[in-house]
Amino acid sequence: MTHQYLANERNLLDELIASVEADRPVALITVVKAKGRFAPVLGQRMLIWPDKDSTGSPTLGQLEPEVLADAHQALADRRSRLFSYEEQDGSVEVFVEVLRRSPTLIIVGAGHVALPLAQLGKLIDFEVVVLDDRPHFANQQRFPMANQVLAQPLAETLRHWTINSDTYLVLVTRGHTHDVECLLEVIDSPARYIGMIGSKRRVKAVFDLLTREKDLDPAKFDRVYAPIGLDIGAESPAEIAISIIAEIINVYRGGRATSLAHALRADRRLPLHPARVEQKGS
């Protein structure tokens, strides 16, 4: 191996480590099979990021734009992938290893649902942040499992928080006034998930108020999971927390389960609590 090759490898490794330590999304592309005219690039590697130029450059000729496009898609999808390419005079396989930021669950509101929600969030290996403006609710003694517990103003804290595409926001505040303030701060953020607890009436009141008084485009609310959770008929705080975490996993992993918000948008007549309706009818 030449000194230049070793220097390039060290530089690539240093950049990879720096990205991981900084919690920046990055993907490592490695040529794992190469035949014909591509044989010389076997084992070569490069790094790609969503927001900067790549490092390293296997000589793939006309295939390179396609390889880079596929790799960027894998990075955007947050999934490692193996890609195969074939031309008349050779073939190549590249493995795209996606190294992701740790997903962060921000629970806004520290009431009854927040406690089991924080426990479940840690169970699925999310970084958990609990935010409430009441110190007797938001404290480390009550949430020992959380990475951070903040007793601070809700909207102001969210306004200055660094939200990225690996942020999952759950609004479980004590009233729709706080929902309005918080949703206004995060609706245009790059958060991967925004969920808001509440009855159909409360959710509608929040959306109507933001449309009327803040002149927000109603189409923006399509990204908000409200009422929150999967459509499993959850009622108790623990059940609601399970339905919320299940919905977050569904978004995180690209699942096919039905969210309560989507079900209600398709048919507003659906009851929020099916069991209660059955009890009344019996």
What domains sit in the chain, N to C, each tagged with a CATH number? 3-99 (no CATH), 104-278 (3.40.50.720)
228: left (phi over 0), alpha (psi -120 to 50) or beta: beta
The string of pLDDT tens digits covering residues 223-259 is: 999 999 999 989 999 999 999 999 999 999 889 999 9
Q: What's the pLDDT at 12?
A: 85
Cis peptide before 227 (omega within 30 of 0): yes
pLDDT beyond 60 at 33: yes
Q: What's the pLDDT at 273?
A: 61
C-alpha 140/C-alpha 137 separation (Å) is 9
- Average pLDDT (193-197) is 97
The per-residue pLDDT of the chain, averaged, comes to 89
pLDDT beyond 60 at 112: yes
- Vertex 212: Cα angle to 210 and 214 (nearest 5): 50
- Average pLDDT (120-133) is 97
* Residue whose entry in the numeric block shows the structure tokens 């309005």: 180
| 45-48 sheet: strands from edge to edge | 45-48, 26-36, 90-99, 81-87
Locate all alpha helices (DSSP H) within the chain, ordered by sequence.
Answer: 3-21, 64-77, 114-123, 154-160, 176-186, 200-213, 237-253, 260-266, 274-281
pLDDT beyond 60 at 281: no
Structure tokens at 138: 């938001």
List the one residue out of 270, 221, 225 whose CA is nearest residue 248. Answer: 225
pLDDT beyond 60 at 120: yes
- Residue type for position 158: L
Pairing verdict, β 90-99 and 81-87: antiparallel
Backbone angles phi, psi at 253, to 5 degrees: -100, 0
pLDDT beyond 70 at 2: no
pLDDT beyond 50 at 282: no
- Measure the N-to-C terminal CA separation of the chain; round to a whole number of Å: 79
Residue with more model confidence, 169 or 269: 169
Model pTM score: 0.77
The string of pLDDT tens digits covering residues 129-185 is: 999 999 999 999 999 999 999 999 999 999 999 998 899 999 999 988 898 999 999
The string of pLDDT tens digits covering residues 55-101 is: 876 678 888 899 999 999 999 888 899 999 999 899 999 999 998 77
